[in-house]
Structure 1
Amino acid sequence: MSKAEFKYENQGNGELQDLIKQAFTCLACGKCSGGCPMVYLFPEDYNPHRVLEKLVENPEEALASKEIWFCASCYKCNKKCPQGIELPEVFLKLRRIALKQNGIENLREVIDDLHGRIPFYNLFFRVCYHPEKIPLRKDELNSLFEKNTSEYKLKQIPATREKVAIIGSGPSGLFTACELRRKGYRVTVFESREKAGGMFHLSIPEFRLDSEIVDHDIDLIKGLGIDIKTNVRIGKDILFNALFDDGFQSVFIASGAHCCMQLHIEGENLPQVMTSLEFLEANKKGTIKAMKDKFVVIGGGNTAMEVATSAVKYGAKEVSVLYRRTKDEIPADINELREVENEGVKVQYLVMPLRFIGEEKLMGIECIKMELGHPDLSGRRRPVPIKASNFIIDADMAVVAIGEKPDLGYLPDEIMLTKEGAIAINPLSMETSMKGVFAGGDVIWGSSSVAEAIMAAGRAVDGINKYLTERRKA
């Protein structure tokens, strides 16, 4: 037993002792830091591996450190860790202890750091930091954003450099727009929807992110001299290549992944059967007046878990998730799965829907039991139906959440796509196969976290700036 473990065991702090034990299993391989979006954004301030070292050597120093507040819960570290250490959960628990022991001042400093680096820091914090889990009282949370000592300064920078077009106004598009504007570029953002904000406005439930906060931060971004044109579809209202004819010297594609994959089974067109994004958007707008009693989600990713949690929050009495593989293969992050289980959601494994039952409204879902066979191309064992194992479950509403993919039909043939249908890019510069065209966010990865989208945007900004600088000198 280490000195730290002995000290905190004798003080009765069992939770901290458990965290120290987890940190002690760290192999110091550094994989948690490689590819971490927050390490990319704050290389001088944050290193998850260093936090674990501090926790073992001097827990008091770790609790007093700002570093425990930087993790944005993207769970990339957990997927890379050979020991399976759940770093985001470790940091969350450390924050709870630190808040009781040291108060909120360290968090205030981190909010200030976020403000100096991320233009929509308010949105970023509320979405990525899960303040409801720390937990922060509403007055404490609001006070964090009332005053900051640093500023994301843009207004005084003249827009004298080249014109850059950005397609999409989600996290990746907005971050790229602001960073390029800070470098003096003239930036125009094209958004196909009525409101800018991408996933902030479309899919994050209102109980996690108030729409008024999204509108407020978008207005601040517009005030920085960034032109945001809504209700403009590239490929329909403006052809992609016409952007260059209009004087844009570079284009950044960040149009997201808004095409939901379908099951292609009987009854999928019933009005009570929705895609994940249809449901989340309707929930965000408040157009679903009453949640059905028996609510079924089909899928095992983070979006499926978000839908299930939302259904519980908005009044569904019985929520089930159907997943065709086992818990070991489920793609959702550990924390997302744990949250739905804590909310009373029943997750049924090795189950696949065959058809939705009903004529004018959904009555139930015919399913079949599965078993795992040989690995498929993804490396996971393929789910195989068990003969004569059909059964029916009751359902008043169902949401199909089996994945989203980008709609890239508006792009010219010069831009190469991957076999998965995403945009192929140079991972260092984020440039596509078409000169001067860059991409980031969900169009290159499929579904990604806000932190990951911002990391891709940061790399794209460097790539765009280098491209235009070299072009200027030529």
Structure 2
Amino acid sequence: MTTKMLQFVSVPQKQPDKRAATARRTDFDEIYKDFATPEATEQASRCSQCGVPFCSVHCPLGNNIPDWLMLTAQGRLEEAYGVSSATNTFPEICGRICPQDRLCEGNCVIEPGFESVTIGAVERYITDTAFEKGWVKPVSPVLERSQSVAIIGAGPAGLAAADQLRAQGYKVHVYDRYDRVGGLLVYGIPGFKLEKHIVARRHKLLEEGGVVFHLGQGIGDGEGELSFADLRSRHDAVLIATGVYKSREIGGPGVGLAGIEKALDYLTASNRRSLGDTLPPEAQALDAAGKNVVVLGGGDTAMDCVRTAIRQGAKSVKCLYRRDKANMPGSAREVKNAEEEGVQFEWLAAPEAFLGEGHVSGVRAVRMKLGLPDATGRQSVEPLEGSSFTLDADLVIKALGFDPEPLPQLWGQKDLAVSRWGTLKVGQKDFMTSLPGVFAAGDIVRGASLVVWAIRDGRDAAACMHQWIQENVTATAKAEQG
């Protein structure tokens, strides 16, 4: 029996049940439970099926959200998965980690007066059901092509491109310096947001579809690395999808004290510990147990750090952010989860010095006030004179964002053009860098951004690579044969 749509007037919004904060503080398991079928059907039926679906408009992937909500409400789940996966390579991942409150759900037309449709939870339900029922199959090309492509980086952009190019029949080789597939999906995002078997499941599917992974393989001129020139010579086209991993730094007195750590180093150590890896000596100290922790920053990475510290048994966890709660760049849902778990937020506060003898023991901060909008349109911040205060800190984590590594220098490719921010320059329409046949996508082009944008870029870059190979490599081969 199908369910009618437009039920938002009589059916209230319901998110999946969330584990109690006291329970979830003790482990790294995902905090949201799965929808049962009746709940997913009922929540999907709240969709208004509007003529201009702003949820789709504000989704970087342009997902056909009203269509798969309607199919879910009608009990046609296999069709719903088909529609969802047509535009999204990893819907089960986006359903878990996308900031829906800023994207699709945040632009739902029923939001004024009625709470939005629970799009992310239904998306997750559809794909998890598809895996359970065996509807998700490895990619199976209709035509096997002779050309091969190399993808540098096994993060979301690289994996999305690999899936699309393999579907076109190309020989796809993915190179990554890490020992697991997933990039930041595995090492940057904690398990309480994305359990790692979800990523491993996609890795297995891609391998079964014929994608070849070269893990632990760095690119460059160092020992054990593969030179970029050699890589280009092996393949007909190359996609650079390395992401951005260089942590932004902060100045001020005492910044060089021990115990002041980079967010990615801290999260990687935590994720490796959860995966059962043996940590090197320099990473073993990256543990918040019994410590007073202060996290600097207000984005999603900062939320990952504070919530990880809670789970590691920190004595106290404080987040220092120079603007107010309304101006935080991170997901409001993540802030709420952090507050429930015991994180204390110091709004409108910025560090001015780090205290300690050899090892950090405190952060001296100053209160801030919001001023006039700056060049970006955001309100500027100004310190309040005489408002300094001190926070106890045995561990300070810098979650201030990420910048790209200097790839032209690391790879000996002086002709690889970069922007003034250090990101790779690509053609606006073709994703090609300044090197012929070398493309780039994801954060290495747009800067640190959302996983969903990386997936979109990887899919679009794959389409451009296919067109270029057909117009150049294939056409040249035919001319030589003729």
Place the TM-score, normalised by the shorter chain, in its bin: 0.7 to 0.9
SS in 1 for 2:238: strand
Structure 2 residue corresponding to 1:92, chosen from 104, 113, 118: 118
1:149 match: 135
Of stretches 293-302 and 263-272 in structure 1, the one that deviates more from structure 2 is: 263-272
SS in 2 for 1:308: helix
Distance 1:243 1:6 in 2: 58
Residue 149 of structure 1: how far off its partner (Å): 3.1
Residue 444 of structure 1: how far off its partner (Å): 1.9
Of stretches 462-471 and 315-324 in structure 1, the one that deviates more from structure 2 is: 315-324
SS in 2 for 1:363: strand
Unmatched tracts of structure 1, length 5 or more: 55-59, 99-105, 114-144
SS in 1 for 2:228: coil
Structure 2 residue corresponding to 1:77, chosen from 79, 83, 103: 103
Residue 442 of structure 1: how far off its partner (Å): 1.5
1:373 match: 371
Structure 1 residues 65 and 349, CA gap change in structure 2 (3 angstroms): farther
1:171 match: 156
Question: Which structure is higher in RCO with an 8 Å CA cutoff and minimum separation 6?
Answer: 2
2:341 match: 343
CA contact (8 A) 2:13 2:117 kept: no
- Residue deviations 1:209-235, cap 9 Å, x none? 444554554344334333322333223
2:232 match: 244
Distance 2:72 2:197 in 1: 38
1:185 match: 170
SS in 2 for 1:416: coil
Alignment of 1:124-163 (within 5 A): 145-154=131-140, 159-163=144-148
Distance 1:47 1:420 in 2: 38
Structure 1 residues 301 and 5, CA gap change in structure 2 (3 angstroms): closer
Structure 1 residues 271 and 147, CA gap change in structure 2 (3 angstroms): farther
- Residue deviations 1:179-229, cap 9 Å, x none? 212222122222122333211331122344444554554344334333322
1:473 match: 475
2:240 match: 253
Residue 315 of structure 1: how far off its partner (Å): 1.7
Unmatched tracts of structure 2, length 5 or more: 1-5, 16-42, 85-90, 274-283, 477-482
2:425 match: 424
SS in 2 for 1:200: helix
Structure 2 residue corresponding to 1:278, chosen from 265, 270, 276: 265
Give the letter aligned to residue 468 of structure 2: Y
Structure 1 residues 458 and 61, CA gap change in structure 2 (3 angstroms): closer
Residue 268 of structure 1: how far off its partner (Å): 2.9
CA contact (8 A) 2:13 2:116 kept: no
CA contact (8 A) 2:47 2:66 kept: no
| TM-score of the aligned structures, taking structure 2 as reference length | 0.73
Distance 1:204 1:363 in 2: 28
Distance 2:298 2:129 in 1: 36
Give the letter aligned to residue 461 of structure 1: A
| TM-score of the aligned structures, taking structure 1 as reference length | 0.74
Distance 1:252 1:259 in 2: 20
Structure 1 residues 79 and 408, CA gap change in structure 2 (3 angstroms): farther
Residue 456 of structure 1: how far off its partner (Å): 1.1
2:254 match: 267
1:229 match: 214
Distance 1:222 1:29 in 2: 39
Structure 2 residue corresponding to 1:33, chosen from 41, 56, 65: 56
1:409 match: 407
Task: Percent identity, please.
Answer: 27
Residue 260 of structure 1: how far off its partner (Å): 0.7
Give the letter aligned to residue 239 of structure 1: S
Across the aligned residues of Structure 1 and Structure 2, the Cα RMSD in angstroms comes to 3.7
Distance 1:393 1:263 in 2: 17
1:458 match: 459
CA contact (8 A) 1:308 1:345 kept: yes
1:57 match: none
- Residue deviations 1:425-447, cap 9 Å, x none? 34543233433222122212223
SS in 1 for 2:265: helix
Structure 1 residues 62 and 274, CA gap change in structure 2 (3 angstroms): same
Give the letter aligned to residue 151 of structure 1: K
Structure 1 residues 150 and 7, CA gap change in structure 2 (3 angstroms): closer
